[in-house]
Structure 1
Amino acid sequence: MFDLLEGGTETFDVIERELRCGFWRWNLRTNEMQWSRGYYDLLGIEPGKVTPSFAAILQVTHPDDRGPQAEVERIIQKASTIRRKFRVIRRGGNIVWIYCQIIIFVDLDGSCERALGICTDITGREDQLNRLRLADERYRALIKATDGVVWVAKSDGQIHEVINCDHSGELQAAALGSGWQQFIHPDDRENVKRVREAASREKRSYDVVHRFRQADGAFKWKRSTGQPVLDDAGNIKEWLGISFDLERDTAQSGTHRVTGAQIRAARGLLRWSVLDLARAAGTTRSTIRRLEEQDGASSHSDPAVPSIERALSKAGVEFLFPAAGKGGVRPR
């Protein structure tokens, strides 16, 4: 290795260039340092322009990384193997990340006599890690903005991760796997199961309204949406979903409210039965019948209304809300 470093053979130059790496050797007794051609390239310094030294390396090191780099000389005296990554500012302002492993050689008395640095350009890896970190930060910021609980489940629906959950750690752990089912209101459990199974068979997203038990034992209306993540063959790898309080969603919706008469008329246009609409909206037949008995608008706080309106609109119905008179429906 030392012969190659000193000789700078064509073969060695090719290896350094292709692997984007470089080497340096430091005689700790004479303080003399040698750099390979590849290490000059990593630093962005033309061979012969500077005398190889640790001080010369610090000159081109990013200011934020100079402190840890300056510690290297002190740590070397302890004969410890050192691993460092640092940034170098090349001419023109181009910044390059370098990973360096320093191996210490000692004499028979145990005193440090020389060090060998093996360095690699890791800029591409660091850029990729930064992009991943940024994407993760944006993802978590989006979760906070929705104020919902995001969950990740295996292809079979077994939840293995819950994010942004306001429940205690004990309750959150209990919801993992298939444990989440015990938190669904008994009257809604079968409907949620049926909607999820249908979406799994058809490899599509689903949207279902249900009640969810809170830490104090009370139930709160939730809207849960699941989206399958498919592999290249079109098979479900996992599910990504979000659940949020429906009361908050409906309370902040628009001023127009669908009436029971509009729901009946929309079903008539589509030739849907009460059961058809219940399945499409992820609710129950009794809920549909109760809402249709009201000729006027239902309460803003009724959690099933947005899902019903969404299901009917998706099926091809347009709801009309004139400035004066009763609301109506028509084919889209």
Structure 2
Amino acid sequence: MLKLVEERGGLGFWSLEIATCRLWGSPGFYRMTGLPPADELRGLFRRLIHPDDEAAQSDLWDLLRSGHAVDREFRIIRPDQTVRWVALKTEVVLGSDARLARIDGILLDTTATHEARQIAAWMQARQTGVLRAVAAATWSALPAGEIEMAAGWGYLTGQSAAEMAGTGWLDAVHPDDRQAVTAAWRSARTTGAPYRAEYRVRGADGRYRRFSGRGAPQINPEGAVREWFGLVLAVPDDARDTVPDAVIGPLIRGARAVIGWSIHDLAAASGVSGSSVRRMEEFGESPRPRIRQAVRRTFEGTGIRFSAISADRVAIEIDLQRFPRP
């Protein structure tokens, strides 16, 4: 039975008599260490422990001899120069006189477990690095729907942990976008489908910028939602120019009407030919990106901005300080 336990479990047993400092080790103990049977535990440890771990384990022998139970994990180098991670666990045994008699212990090969932890930590670090690179913030939510924003949200908006708690994070979302955001979140929780919404967020500097919220449910083995996890992604400025061709004309005509420009005025201000402007307005033709950007920048210079909210929604944003409401 002992042979089966040692071989299947990857462990070995040992015992140290305190009075004589003699060591007894099981076959599994010596098989794991790769050393021939020895009667001197201190020398055995000195020969085995990895040089990089020696400093951390320098007190090991003194602790054992003084009767302290230990629970350590370190590397050993076996005679064949292979490196293994091992866990050393001990128990103090008293004699009939209630004085320390011996130390019993096990040596457990934890190489596979340690390597699995290292791989998991490496994967976690890699994923965290990618998230930090692409996401302005991350969030998680309980199945009931309460969203907990991560630290990135506080850095982005300037909100404190108390201010963003519960539904407080919505205070940083543009008032005109809050209803759509909450409706999309309610629909995702009801259907279990991935969550997606685009909205404007007030940054710590007071300016609104466009972001895309994405999320997906994490399902437990029973098929129920354990939690939600999501990202808040910045929408690049270039993405604001992806206005569907079908609405280019009405947008330009509407913007010209606001500032009282003719086609000739827009062409002169943007450096785009009048015929290109007319084709964009009348036929919805999509010109080269350079021309679209020139028209967009010209309108932005006057206080008017086009925004593609989604694949089928477009907004005209007007600076009311330049064009106050009548």
TM-score normalised by the chain length of structure 1:
0.68
SS at the partner of 1:38? helix
Letter aligned with residue 18 of structure 1: R
Max radius of gyration: which structure? 2
Residue segments in structure 1 that go unaligned for 5+ positions in a row: 1-10, 266-287, 313-332
1:30 maps to which residue?
20
1:133 maps to which residue?
121
Structure 1 distance, partners of 2:158, 2:246, is 42
Structure 2 distance, partners of 1:77, 1:303, is 78
Structure 2 distance, partners of 1:44, 1:56, is 11
Letter aligned with residue 264 of structure 1: V
Equivalent position to 1:223, from 192, 198, 212: 212
Deviation, structure 1 residue 141? 0.8
Whether the 8 Å CA contact 2:10–2:108 is kept in 1: the answer is yes
Whether the 8 Å CA contact 1:225–1:241 is kept in 2: the answer is yes
- CA 1:230 to 1:163, structure 2 compared with 1: closer, same or farther past 3 Å? farther
Whether the 8 Å CA contact 1:263–1:292 is kept in 2: the answer is no
Deviation, structure 1 residue 226? 1.7
1:250 maps to which residue?
237
Equivalent position to 2:4, from 5, 14, 19: 14
Letter aligned with residue 212 of structure 1: V
Letter aligned with residue 85 of structure 1: E
Whether the 8 Å CA contact 2:67–2:103 is kept in 1: the answer is no
Aligned pair 1:175/2:159, yes or no?
no
2:196 maps to which residue?
207
Whether the 8 Å CA contact 1:196–1:206 is kept in 2: the answer is yes
Identity among equivalent positions (%) equals: 21
Structure 1 distance, partners of 2:232, 2:224, is 24
- CA 1:168 to 1:190, structure 2 compared with 1: closer, same or farther past 3 Å? closer
> How big is the alpha-carbon RMSD for the aligned residues of Structure 1 and Structure 2?
3.5
SS at the partner of 2:196? strand
- CA 1:211 to 1:15, structure 2 compared with 1: closer, same or farther past 3 Å? same
Deviation, structure 1 residue 106? 5.0
Letter aligned with residue 27 of structure 2: R
Deviation, structure 1 residue 179? 2.9
Deviation, structure 1 residue 16? 2.1
Which moved further from structure 2: 88-97 or 182-191? 88-97
1:325 maps to which residue?
none
Structure 1 distance, partners of 2:117, 2:134, is 26
Letter aligned with residue 305 of structure 1: A
Structure 1 distance, partners of 2:110, 2:122, is 18
Structure 2 distance, partners of 1:184, 1:304, is 16
Deviation, structure 1 residue 124? 2.6
Aligned pair 1:305/2:308, yes or no?
yes
Structure 2 distance, partners of 1:227, 1:117, is 47
Deviation, structure 1 residue 120? 1.8
Residue segments in structure 2 that go unaligned for 5+ positions in a row: 256-279, 282-291, 315-326
Deviation, structure 1 residue 304? 3.6
- CA 1:100 to 1:204, structure 2 compared with 1: closer, same or farther past 3 Å? same
Whether the 8 Å CA contact 1:250–1:303 is kept in 2: the answer is no
Q: How many residues align?
A: 271
Map 1:51-200 to 2 at 5 A.
51-106=39-94, 112-160=100-148, 162-165=150-153, 166=155, 171-200=160-189
Cα deviation digits, residues 258-294 of structure 1 (max 9, x gap): 456x0438xxxxxxxxxxxxxxxxxxxxxx9757846
SS at the partner of 1:229? strand
2:247 maps to which residue?
264
- CA 1:100 to 1:289, structure 2 compared with 1: closer, same or farther past 3 Å? farther
TM-score normalised by the chain length of structure 2:
0.69
Map 1:265-304 to 2 at 5 A.
293=254, 295=280, 297=292, 299=296, 304=307
Structure 2 distance, partners of 1:131, 1:119, is 23
SS at the partner of 1:67? coil
Cα deviation digits, residues 43-79 of structure 1 (max 9, x gap): 133x44x555221233122222222333111223443
